[in-house]
Structure 1
């Protein structure tokens, strides 16, 4: 009988620090909503009771950047607003993740004018892009699950 089974019989649980911290992070994502345009309505629906986002641990929208670890940029961004969004992003503690929600946040959408940023990835590191105009709440849940999978497989130390 292996040492793991012997310890399990005695009531001990063996795990790694990476597994435990990633499990806690993955199941308690607190979004920082940046609802800038029409996609914000779908982001609000995503947080409502119909889609039950609390089963993913993300029902608590934090409006303080120091309490959030997931930024959802929903809608088109002007160059003036991009500086405020970047400042809020910089105030969020590490590790942090970003979702670009909708065609406008991802590529500028139909707003091909000089005052609109052609994708928030020009000033933020985006982890997941959600297509659509506006995307459905189910797509936001899928993006959240993608971020959770990314968190689940992260390692605190580089492995050879």
Structure 2
């Protein structure tokens, strides 16, 4: 009861805690690094167009360097040959860092249940958000980004802090 009263006072007076302000700033300035490997990458590229405009979320800067990114969007099927470069990109990213697995192939290997395709990118890097679909529409990726923003604002730690880093 007291906590609800405190929240309403904070809202009425427009005050907040330092943790909430930092979480809001982090969620409003996520810089994605893209790891597009297949057909999902085309759908991922379309979210920077004027129709979807992720600039309204502070994400208009797609980084080509993992050292300047804090969100890795893995889209498409990851082969065992591409797993080490993917892990290297993830390791070079700044902390805190988040990962979105976009599409059925990145999430679970999709229809490619064979020896060459990794059966889920979460075997290499800890995933925060899974976006379903084959390929998922840009709207689905936008929904995944919004869910990630909600997690960040709620103070949910990144997946590597919760589950540890895959070996």
TM-score (norm 2): 0.83
Partner of 2:94: 93
SS of the residue corresponding to residue 129 of structure 1 reads: strand
Structure 1: gaps (5+ residues)? none
Partner of 1:68: 69
SS of the residue corresponding to residue 81 of structure 2 reads: helix
Give 1:113 deviation, angstroms. Answer: 1.4
Partner of 2:116: 115
Q: Deviations over 1:50-84 (max 9, x none)?
A: 11111111111001111101100000001111100
Distance in 1 (alpha carbons) for counterparts of 2:134 and 2:48: 18
CA contact (8 A) 1:18 1:155 kept: no
Give 1:112 deviation, angstroms. Answer: 1.3
CA contact (8 A) 1:30 1:61 kept: yes
Partner of 1:28: 29
Q: CA RMSD in A?
A: 1.7
Structure 2: gaps (5+ residues)? 1-8, 158-167
The number of residue pairs the alignment matches comes to: 147
Distance in 1 (alpha carbons) for counterparts of 2:156 and 2:23: 9
User: What does 1:1-160 correspond to in 2, within 5 Å?
Assistant: 14-154=15-155
TM-score (norm 1): 0.87
Q: Deviations over 1:27-64 (max 9, x none)?
A: 11111000011100000011211111111111110011
SS of the residue corresponding to residue 42 of structure 2 reads: helix
Which of 134-143 and 45-54 deviates more?
45-54
SS of the residue corresponding to residue 79 of structure 1 reads: coil
